[in-house]
Chain A
Amino acid sequence: MKPNSDNLVEIRDLHYSRNAHVVFDGVNITVQRGKVTAVMGPSGCGKTTLLRLIGGQLTPDSGSVIVNGEHIPRLSRERLYEVRRQMGMLFQSGALFSDISVFENVAFPLREHTNLPEAMIRDLVLMKLQAVGLRGARELMPSELSGGMARRVALARALALDPSLIMFDEPFTGQDPISMGVLVQLIRLLNDALKMTTIIVSHDVQETVSIADYIYVIADGHVVGEGTPETLMQEGTGWVQQFMQGLPDGPVPFHYPAQDYSNDLWGASR
């Protein structure tokens, strides 16, 4: 299959299972260049797994994962590491290196992949930190940062090599309203200013809807809804509507499957 040059990521007929549990059963996802694409779904539906499949940290059972024209599962180990330099990924925990400072964390990919002089590395690191508003925190250690600050430092580190694709794994989880607002704004601004392509996986509907250009909703191993945020909010089918509106009952029942309530209550005493 020839990849479309407008699309940075193309996932076709993706099947992936783990320990006999089917995570993806024929998933198709397209991520257009320059856009913010969100993948949403309930906890445990495989959103993080999807990012790991795109990044080549997992190999699908079948189907294709194409990033910038490269068939990720077919790449050699060396080539895969080269291709990853064009990707940035922001982990849920931030995943900063705990034994080095904020400055050194952001400088890490530059030191590993370039032979730039120290003065230029310093300038680049300060520019990345300035972009996320943490230039003044460069001497701090990761243990001294709040959760929101740690994610912003991780974002600066992910941007260090100017990737063409950046992936966010649950960027809004556990953030206070101010940090949340900052992150939402940063993701959109950086995507547009640096002409990147962004993939967000999240189950925070409001925040994701406010910045995404296109949304895929995943459940039970399938894409159950896709479209622009407005389309999904208004025209989505039952399950998608329940998820997007955050309704407690609907196609996904409030109660976990169980035997009849009265039988359960009185059955034991009979």
Chain B
Amino acid sequence: MITMKRLQLLGRTGFSFMGDVGRATIILYHSLIGKPDWVNGFTRLVQQIYFVGVLSFVIIALSALFIGMVLGLQGYTILNKFGAEHALGQLIALSLVRELGPVVGALLFAGRAGSALTAEIGLMKTTEQLSSMEMMGVDPLRRIIAPRFWAGQISMPVLALIFNCVAILGGYMVGVEWLGVDNGAFWANMQSAVDFHADVVNGIIKSVVFGTVITWIAVFQGIDCQPTAEGIGRSTTKTVVYASLAVLGLDFFLTAVMFGDT
């Protein structure tokens, strides 16, 4: 009996999940397919890049600085035991460019920009702003969802690159300026170990994928939320939880595909 109930629950959850994926796909399709409005569309895109990307800069840069400093400190402590502290630059750069930059950047982006997107769109739905837009003959999917989706996709890789640069700077400050690793060895090892295509480009591809998934989840949760205060709260939480899990899961998959053979 208990097994049957569990099976039923599993079935219901599965159907509900598939339904959500279907609706999210339809919403994305209607948002992105159609004749683009280049002039107004560009202005809205720039506005959204400001809200989604530029306003996330401070949290991304500060987090990156501290993460880079911790990496420098921990890396130096371990490498020093083997007399290999000159490889600190290589350690910091590879771990950041391949993993930490895209992944931690994406987690912060989901928390800062993803939740804000869901709350904003959810509130617009609750206060009937989206319905009134529909009744004015303006498609809210094209007008509201599309620019936010593109802005998220463009901002995420740029933020991940900024994260990498600032974190490397943090690692340099601790490793070279404070702990005394040789300046030349730090940069030269980094330069020789990091491959542009294999490491940097793959890292950028990762962050584009993460940016797409996070903004997709965020806009869908916003437009699909229950139009109540509690509904907005629940959807905002769902955005952060689902987006974070999706980023971590996809990171494993992408890492296996990109770096599995090496």
Binding site for B on A (CB under 8 A): 52, 55, 57, 77, 81-85, 87-89, 91-93, 95-98, 108-109, 111-113, 154, 157-158, 161
Contact = CB atoms under 8 A, between A and B. Distances in A.
Interface of B: 30, 40, 127-129, 131-132, 134-139, 143
Contacts of B131: 52, 57, 91, 95
A93 B127 CA distance: 7
Contact of A112 (B30, B128, B136): B136
A89 B138 contact: no
A88 B127 CA distance: 17
A158 to B, nearest CB: 8
Given A95-B127, A98-B127, A89 B132 contact: yes
Q: Which 5 A-B pairs have the closest CB atoms?
A: A95-B132, A85-B137, A95-B128, A84-B137, A89-B135
22 contacts: A55-B135, A57-B134, A77-B139, A81-B134, A81-B137, A82-B137, A83-B137, A85-B136, A87-B135, A88-B135, A89-B132, A91-B131, A92-B128, A93-B128, A95-B132, A98-B127, A98-B129, A108-B136, A108-B138, A111-B40, A112-B137, A112-B143
Contacts of A97: 129
A113 B143 CA distance: 12
Please indicate which of the listed interface residues A83, A95, A111 has the most CB atoms of chain B within 10 Å of its own CB.
A95
Contacts of B139: 77, 81
A77 B142 CA distance: 12
A109 B128 contact: no
Contacts of A95: 127-129, 131-132
B50 to A, nearest CB: 13
A84 B132 contact: no
Nearest to B136: A109
A218 to B, nearest CB: 21
Contact of B138 (A57, A93, A112, A158): A112
Contact of A113 (B129, B135, B137): B137
A23 to B, nearest CB: 17
Contacts of A91: 128, 131-132
A171 to B, nearest CB: 14
Given A55-B135, A89-B135, A96-B129, 17 more contacts: A55-B134, A57-B135, A77-B139, A81-B134, A84-B136, A88-B135, A91-B128, A91-B131, A93-B127, A93-B128, A95-B132, A98-B129, A108-B138, A109-B136, A109-B138, A112-B137, A113-B138
Nearest to B126: A93
B38 to A, nearest CB: 14
A4 to B, nearest CB: 25
A57 B134 CA distance: 8
Contacts of A82: 137
A109 B137 contact: yes
Contacts of A158: 136
Nearest to B35: A78
A244 to B, nearest CB: 29
A99 B132 CA distance: 15
A204 to B, nearest CB: 20
Contact of B135 (A77, A84, A96, A112): A84
A195 to B, nearest CB: 20
A161 B127 CA distance: 22
B29 to A, nearest CB: 11
A97 to B, nearest CB: 6
A259 B137 CA distance: 51
Contacts of A109: 136-138
A55 B136 CA distance: 10
B77 to A, nearest CB: 49
A189 to B, nearest CB: 22
Contacts of A154: 132
Contacts of B137: 81-85, 109, 112-113, 161
Nearest to B141: A77
Given A84-B137, A85-B137, A93-B127, A77 B132 contact: no
B221 to A, nearest CB: 20
From B132, B134, B135, B139, name the one whose CB has the most chain A CB atoms within 10 angstroms: B135
Contacts of A96: 129
Nearest to B120: A99
Of A55, A82, A112, A157, most B-chain CB atoms within 10 Å: A112
Contacts of A111: 40
Contacts of B30: 77
